[in-house]
């Protein structure tokens, strides 16, 4: 478990401002993007054989992938970088980012897709009894806080660039091979193998467990405000999915704790697959897929605060919207929704999900290490506001159009794999400003395995 804190961004109380970053050690030196590329090309399997890499062939696949991802950067010396804990973010020109280069989207801003004029919005306006807007806080992007890293670099990216979390041999070597680095399993409720995966795939699958609501409704995306926590455990997610089944294709996003990938704090993430998680799909910008257009949000980045049990509650709004064949990501802070980028139709082979999704899902997911960790806040839904995790303002988007209104989710069926460990309690179409919502989560534990 990695807990080095190179940036003092973390407060025990929601709403407390950020403090200054601690000074770097005298022996520390930042690794520029150009230095990183040069050292990666000289890295050998022998120096990583003890890290769990399967063999020299697997290691070569990893380093080839890293080199390929950055092959479109014309002048590495002009790329600025920042560091949070042991992870670098590199500010790469929009037109030179991996997805634009590797997918052959072409040079020039006109070649990139044009976003819809705005996100879809909910129709409810009245406040729920006993709750108001003051009871929750929209978390800002870590790139908007005006802070610096341990080396004095601004944790932000200039206009015309996008933040790309640096892929290194060290970060990939933890997985043993490239396939496991990209991997995220399909759930049994979707027609996959779910908990049965562990019998044939071993720890990679990790018997993922779920507590989520599912609406089987044709849609063009959807929305949820997600209460942000940082639960203990090996792997824990709060997200929403938009899915077609044949072939199984998804668009996903939310927050995730993933100890193999990052440190122990929840991070902003997105994910996709075009073929049932078999040969396509990856987290964030870890492969050619998502085209980021905004320099304001850091996929894979942490947050400056988290919700506190019986205390301040924070979170963020995330929306996926299918528009002209591309799946656009919107994130909402205090200034309203902002378009972040899109999954182009090309990565799905212009498959069915580029026309619409067949159903939508919202909820939590965990996977074990020695035992199952916490989901959500680590407390059951019955504890309610301020103690249990939740998602609200949940709706689906009924039409492919610019802007428009969402339809409050019916939350019509539930998928709970380990009800003694995690549950979900839904309130569809509440008629309040919370719209459709649910509480979810639980403590996990060894008895879940």
Tokens of residue 365, six digits: 């997911």
Residue ranges of the alpha helices (H) in 4-83?
33-41, 56-69
Separation between Cα atoms, residue 33 and residue 295, nearest integer Å: 18
- Separation CA 253–CA 289 (nearest Å): 14
The active-site residue out of 96, 197, 252, 317 is: 252
Q: Which helix (H) or strand (E) element contains residue 414?
A: strand 413-416
Residue carrying structure tokens 């050292």: 39
Catalytic-labelled residue, pool 96, 197, 317, 365: 365
Q: What's the Cα-to-Cα distance from 224 to each of 136, 230, 332, rounded to whole Å?
A: 14, 18, 10
Q: How many angstroms separate the CA atoms of 435 and 427, rounded?
A: 8
Cα–Cα distance, 193 to 280 (Å, whole number): 18
Can you tell me the distance from the alpha carbon of 410 to that of 408, in angstroms, rounded to the nearest whole number? 7
Q: Are 202 and 413 in contact (CB under 8 A)?
A: no
Q: Cα(322)–Cα(157) distance, rounded to whole angstroms?
A: 27
Q: How far apart are the first and last CA of the chain?
A: 21
CA dihedral (268, 18, 332, 340) positive or negative:
negative
Helices (H) and strands (E) in the chain, counts: 6, 19
Q: E strands, 68-116, where?
A: 80-84, 87-93
Q: Can 338 be counted among the known catalytic residues?
A: no
User: Would you say the C-alpha torsion 267, 109, 288, 2 has a positive or negative sign?
Assistant: negative
Place of tokens 């409720």: 189
The values of phi and psi at residue 415, to 5°, are -125, 105
252 is catalytic: yes
* Cα–Cα dist 354/350, whole Å: 6
Active site residues: 252, 365
């Amino acid at each position: 478990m990695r807990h080095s804190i190179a940036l003092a961004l973390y407060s025990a109380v929601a709403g407390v401002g950020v403090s200054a970053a601690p000074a770097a050690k005298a022996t520390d030196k930042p690794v520029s993007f150009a230095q990183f590329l040069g050292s990666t090309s000289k890295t050998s399997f022998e120096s990583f054989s003890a890290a769990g890499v399967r063999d020299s062939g697997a290691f070569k696949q990893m380093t080839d992938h890293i080199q390929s991802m950055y092959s479109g950067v014309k002048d590495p010396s002009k790329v600025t970088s920042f560091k949070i804990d042991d992870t670098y973010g590199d500010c790469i020109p929009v037109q030179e980012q991996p997805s634009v280069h590797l997918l052959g989207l072409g040079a020039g801003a006109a070649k990139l897709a044009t976003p819809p004029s705005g996100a879809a919005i909910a129709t409810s306006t009245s406040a729920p009894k006993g709750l108001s807007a003051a009871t929750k806080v929209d978390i800002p992007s870590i790139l908007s806080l005006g802070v610096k890293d341990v080396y004095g670099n601004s944790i932000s990216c200039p206009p015309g660039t996008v933040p790309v979390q640096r892929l290194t041999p060290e970060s990939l070597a933890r997985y043993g091979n490239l396939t496991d680095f990209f991997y995220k399993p399909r759930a049994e409720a979707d027609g996959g193998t779910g908990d049965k995966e562990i019998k044939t795939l071993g720890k990679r699958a990790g018997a993922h467990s779920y507590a989520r609501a599912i609406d089987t409704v044709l849609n063009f995306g959807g929305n949820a405000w997600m209460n942000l926590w940082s639960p203990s455990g090996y792997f824990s997610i709060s997200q929403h999915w938009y899915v077609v089944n044949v072939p199984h294709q998804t668009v996903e996003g939310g927050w995730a704790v993933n100890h193999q990938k990052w440190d122990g704090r929840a991070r902003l993430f997105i994910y996709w697959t075009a073929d049932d998680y078999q040969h396509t799909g990856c987290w964030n910008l870890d492969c050619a897929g998502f085209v980021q257009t905004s320099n304001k949000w850091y996929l894979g980045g942490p947050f400056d605060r988290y919700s506190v049990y019986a205390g301040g509650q924070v979170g963020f709004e995330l929306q996926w919207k299918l528009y002209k064949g591309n799946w656009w990501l919107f994130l909402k802070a205090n200034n309203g929704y902002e378009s972040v980028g899109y999954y182009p139709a090309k990565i799905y082979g212009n498959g069915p999900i580029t026309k619409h999704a067949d159903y939508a899902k919202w909820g939590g997911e965990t996977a074990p290490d020695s035992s199952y960790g916490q989901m959500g806040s680590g407390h059951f839904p019955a504890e309610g506001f301020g103690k249990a995790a939740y998602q609200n303002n949940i709706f689906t988007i009924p039409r492919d159009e610019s802007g428009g209104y969402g339809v409050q989710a019916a939350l019509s069926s539930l998928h709970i794999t380990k009800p003694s460990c995690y549950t979900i309690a839904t309130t569809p179409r509440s008629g309040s400003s919370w719209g459709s919502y649910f509480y979810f989560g639980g403590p996990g534990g060894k008895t879940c395995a």
